[in-house]
Amino acid sequence: MFIPDTKLKTLSAAMLMAAGGFAAAPAMAEDFYAGKTIEMVVPFGEGGATYVAAKFLEPFLEQHLPGNPKVNVRTRPGGGSILGANWFQQNAEPDGETILFTTSSTSNPYVLGMDAVAYDLAAMRPAYSLPFGAVVYVSPNTGIESPADLHSSDMPLIYGGIAAAASDLPVLLSFELLELDLRAVLGFDGRGPARLAFERGETNIDFQFTPAYMSQVVSMVEAGTAVPIMTGGAVGDDGVLSARDQAFPDYPSVYEVYEELHGEPPSGVEWDAFQAIGATTFNFGLTAYLPEGTPDEVLDIFEEAIAAINADPEYQDKSQEAIGGYDLLPASVVTGSLRESLQPSDEVRDYLRTLLAEKYDVQL
């Protein structure tokens, strides 16, 4: 439990004024942001997970970016994040003062090539990412105790989700990859209502992102009303979504579960599709994009600031509860791998579009 420290703001304000005194000195990286304001555009409503994460990062960015800029979180909801991202594409200047902070809700429509998308996400420059892991769990009534039992459930598996082309996509793709026999009931309002349906016994397999899993599902696991199965995984050093989720080192990743069930690592278009969508949803779950053409100088500044935030004991302390304790990923780590996920091969794209059309009746 923490209560935002108002001293922090006063401190950064004082430093801002101090920095202002040196404004006459030649512009160097040290005071790049002195006296400037960064607008962090969140294409979702106030109070949502992305907004909360943005507000959480706000004071750390203000403190660690050179010149201590003021960071304003600005919400631009609508069109399932497409409106805000389109606005960003059309209006943001590549001066490092406007950032788009968003999730796979923005990248999935881009990857799938939806008509409403007017932004070119792969051409933008990611400044940093915050991983946003997820855990799949089942009801003990299914008799499933570990991933090995996934195909021998005592009862038909029912999964509650929002929409196939939205944030359910990576989990549905993992079910597809593992060839699970389950019924997906789509149309819930959000992951919270879907979890309530699980608690009421209306569904028996569900997933939650890390913060909600920590606050809601951990106590269910302790009480024996939920059995954790696997996480989406994390991108390892080899660039494959095979590593364990940093927040849940005890749970296997989808990659490992496949290996356990089939005796060989996953491959083929099913895996490539899961990896592309899974990486943008989990590993690069919340990503800050700078407009296309933002100079390297700005990226370098963020690179340093992100390292400083990760090293900040206060960040380490508070991030545990707020966002699952993930380290921020700097641009050097994010850029290549994210761009690859945002531009999958035509084969993967066709597979995704066909699967969505035939199994979930989604016409893109």
Partner 1 sequence: MLENIVSALDLLFQPARLLALFIGMLAGMVFGMLPGLGGVAAVSILLPFIYLMDGYSGLAMLLGAISVIYTADTITSVLIGAPGSPASAPTAIEGHALAKQGKASLALGVGFLASMVGGLFGALILSVAIPIAGPLVLALGTPELFMFALVGLCFAASMVGKDLAVGLAAACLGILLGVIGAAPAAANYRFIFGQSYLMDGLSLPIVALGLFAVAELISMVASGGGIAGQPMTLGKWGESFRVFWRNRWLICRSSIIGIFGGFVPAVGASASTWIAYGHAMSSTKDKRNFGKGEIRGIASAEGANNATIISDLVPTMLFSVPGGPAAAIFLGALFSFGFYPGPRMVSESPDLMYMIVWSVALASVMGAAICFAVTPYIARLTRVNFALIAAPLLLIMVAGAYQGTQTFGDILALLALGILGWLMKNAGIPRAPVLVGFVLATPMEQYFWLTTQIHGFTWLTRPGVLIIASLIVIPLVLNAGRWLRQRRKLANDATQRQAEASPASAEPPSHDSSIILIAALVMVVAFGYALVEMLGFRPNARLMPSLGIVPGLLLSLYVLGRQLIRIRRQGHMANLASRQELPVLGGILSYGLVMWLIGFNLATPLLLAWLLVGCARMRWGTALLYGLAVYGVAQGMFAMMRLTPPAGALLDLPMPW
Task: Identify the CA nearest to 170 among candidates 231, 225, 115.
Answer: 231
In this complex, which beta carbon is closest to partner 1, that of residue 168 or of residue 270? 168
When asked if residue 358 is in the footprint of partner 1 (CB under 8 A), the reply is no
Measured between alpha carbons, how far is 232 from 226 in angstroms, rounded to an integer? 18
When asked if residue 203 is in the footprint of partner 1 (CB under 8 A), the reply is yes
When asked if residue 239 is in the footprint of partner 1 (CB under 8 A), the reply is no
Least spacing, CB of residue 49 vs partner 1, in Å: 8
Q: How far is CA 159 from CA 128, 142, 173, 229, in A?
A: 32, 12, 13, 14
When asked if residue 9 is in the footprint of partner 1 (CB under 8 A), the reply is yes
Q: Which residue in 179, 202, 297, 347 binds partner 1 (CB under 8 A)?
A: 202
In the window 117-176, what residues touch partner 1 (CB under 8 A)? 158, 160, 163-165
Task: Identify the CA nearest to 283 among candidates 331, 344, 326.
Answer: 326
Residue position matching structure tokens 């007017």: 118
At 238, the amino acid letter reads D
In this complex, which beta carbon is closest to partner 1, that of residue 134 or of residue 299? 134
In this complex, which beta carbon is closest to partner 1, that of residue 42 or of residue 254? 42
When asked if residue 78 is in the footprint of partner 1 (CB under 8 A), the reply is yes
When asked if residue 185 is in the footprint of partner 1 (CB under 8 A), the reply is yes
In this complex, which beta carbon is closest to partner 1, that of residue 12 or of residue 203? 203
Measured between alpha carbons, how far is 295 from 291 in angstroms, rounded to an integer? 10
Contacts with partner 1 by CB under 8 A: the residue count is 62
Measured between alpha carbons, how far is 156 from 158 in angstroms, rounded to an integer? 6
When asked if residue 362 is in the footprint of partner 1 (CB under 8 A), the reply is yes
Stretch that binds partner 1, among 93-101, 127-135, 213-221, 261-269 (CB under 8 A): 213-221
Least spacing, CB of residue 340 vs partner 1, in Å: 27
Q: Which residue in 3, 7, 250, 346 binds partner 1 (CB under 8 A)?
A: 3
At 117, the amino acid letter reads V
Task: Identify the CA nearest to 186 among candidates 177, 175, 215.
Answer: 175
- Long-range residue pairs from 52-57, CB within 8 A, at least 24 positions apart, any chain: 52/211, 52/322, 53/101, 53/130, 53/286, 53/322, 53/323, 54/101, 56/318, 56/319, 56/322, 56/323, 57/130, 57/309, 57/328
Is the Cα torsion angle 19, 25, 31, 35 positive or negative in sign? Answer: positive
In this complex, which beta carbon is closest to partner 1, that of residue 165 or of residue 229? 165
When asked if residue 182 is in the footprint of partner 1 (CB under 8 A), the reply is no
Residue window 43-72: x/- pattern of binding to partner 1, with contact defined by CB under 8 A: --xxxx--xx--xx---------------x
When asked if residue 238 is in the footprint of partner 1 (CB under 8 A), the reply is no
When asked if residue 188 is in the footprint of partner 1 (CB under 8 A), the reply is yes
When asked if residue 315 is in the footprint of partner 1 (CB under 8 A), the reply is no
Interface contacts to partner 1, rule CB under 8 A: 1-4, 6, 9, 45-48, 51-52, 55-56, 72, 74, 76-80, 82-83, 86-87, 115-116, 158, 160, 163-165, 183, 185-190, 192-193, 195-197, 199-200, 202-203, 211-212, 214-216, 219, 318, 321-322, 356, 360-363
